[in-house]
Amino acid sequence: MISITVDEVEDIAIGAAVMGTGGGGDPHVGKLVAKQAIEQHGSVPLLSPDELAEDDLVIPTAQMGAPTVSYEKPPGGDELVKSVKRVESAIGQKAIATMPIECGGINSTFPIAVAAQMGIPLVDADGMGRAFPELQHETFNIYGVSGTPAAVADSHGNVCLLDTVDNVSLEWIARGITVRMGGTGYLADYPMTGTQVQETAIPNTMSLVKDIGEAVRVADGDVVEAIAEVTAASIYGEACHLFEGKIVDVKRRTEAGFVLGHVELEGLGEDRGQTMRIDFQNENLAAKVGDEYRITVPDLITVLDRETGDPIPTERLRYGARVQVLGIPTPEIMRTPAALEVWGPRTFGIETDYRPLNA
């Protein structure tokens, strides 16, 4: 069994920024919280989904709401543990492990802190395989797991336990609670048996995120190639360079708690003379070269700094920046007809059918 130490957390934070596809919150804050928890409580065993017994209870954890609030006011430490315990007591069973619901962005690292604090392992899997904005955007939801009983806690000590009739209602009500909690809440949801994890989670994504981070960290020159090598050996498939250009326009607005907009690139290098437009809602959703969609959700689109290779979140895209655009195909479990009904391009208002990257 691999263990997550403070070194692995460094790599996970880098990989989670790549898999965040422009959103999911800056993994930096989560990284600090996770490192502190590991220093205090010891390293966190990473448990393969295969190692779970049928009836083992796994309770995933995540931060919900505006990640910016966490930058200003990181969680005090026991908010997520409180939520897990509330769900445990609603079910009447102890969780043998926690798990991320989202392997991109800030939510890749918070569950590591929870695992350290509770002295339990982290399952090497998640339900988004990247970052997505809402709680129904989960393979757990797509393949029939109830999101509740779920709990949301805040840093003051308030805790809400939710039982909802479906997972869209969970998203809707929990989102309202996090707004009242000051913009961010700490969530335990989609409690699952070992069998349910094996049947619905995207396996080995925490290892993948760590490997991507490590590859980026040691890359000598071409970051895209380094990432491509790692993903090619995974269930995702080979990542690829999509475009190189200069940002000539950014439109960004905040609506109903989401950051919506698009960015326009003018080609550089081999792409000179062409343009790319990337639409986003927190995360990058679709990219067109000229009039033609080159990639859409659920496939991953990440904008990297052209010089340093650092992923640039949608909220930090700036006029004049020179960037390259990376695409990562998604594994089969994320692009079944059932999955595309929940997070295909049309569910985000992108008027095209999904066509797998490089298909």
Q: Could you list the residues that contact a second copy (CB under 8 A)?
A: 156-165, 169, 172-173, 175-177, 179-181
Helix, strand or coil, per DSSP, at residue 300: strand
How far apart CA 60 and CA 151 sit, in angstroms, is 11
Closest by alpha carbon to 14, among 3, 36, 30? 30
Closer to a second copy at the Cβ: 175 or 306? Answer: 175
Smallest separation, CB 179 to a second copy (Å) = 6
Closer to a second copy at the Cβ: 148 or 281? Answer: 148
Closer to a second copy at the Cβ: 164 or 200? Answer: 164
The one-letter amino acid code at 300 reads: L
Closer to a second copy at the Cβ: 83 or 284? Answer: 83
Closest by alpha carbon to 307, among 322, 317, 318, 325? 322
Smallest separation, CB 156 to a second copy (Å) = 5
Helix, strand or coil, per DSSP, at residue 66: coil
Closest by alpha carbon to 58, among 206, 153, 197? 197
Closer to a second copy at the Cβ: 143 or 172? Answer: 172
Give one DSSP letter per residue of 261-294, joined into a string.
EEEEEEE-GGGTT-EEEEEEESEEEEEEETTEEE
Closer to a second copy at the Cβ: 163 or 225? Answer: 163
Please report, for residues 21, 50, 205, 288, 350, the alpha-carbon distance to residue 296 in angstroms, rounded to integers and kept in the order given. 11, 31, 20, 9, 8
Strand partners, 78: none
Smallest separation, CB 136 to a second copy (Å) = 14
How far apart CA 33 and CA 48 sit, in angstroms, is 23
How far apart CA 182 and CA 187 sit, in angstroms, is 14
How far apart CA 92 and CA 78 sit, in angstroms, is 20
Smallest separation, CB 17 to a second copy (Å) = 32
Smallest separation, CB 170 to a second copy (Å) = 8
Strand partners, 288: 277, 293
Closer to a second copy at the Cβ: 164 or 296? Answer: 164
- Asked if 114 and 38 count as a contact pair (C-beta separation under 8 A), the reply is no
Closer to a second copy at the Cβ: 136 or 204? Answer: 136
Smallest separation, CB 141 to a second copy (Å) = 16
Largest CA distance in the chain: 62
- Asked if 162 and 149 count as a contact pair (C-beta separation under 8 A), the reply is yes
Smallest separation, CB 169 to a second copy (Å) = 5
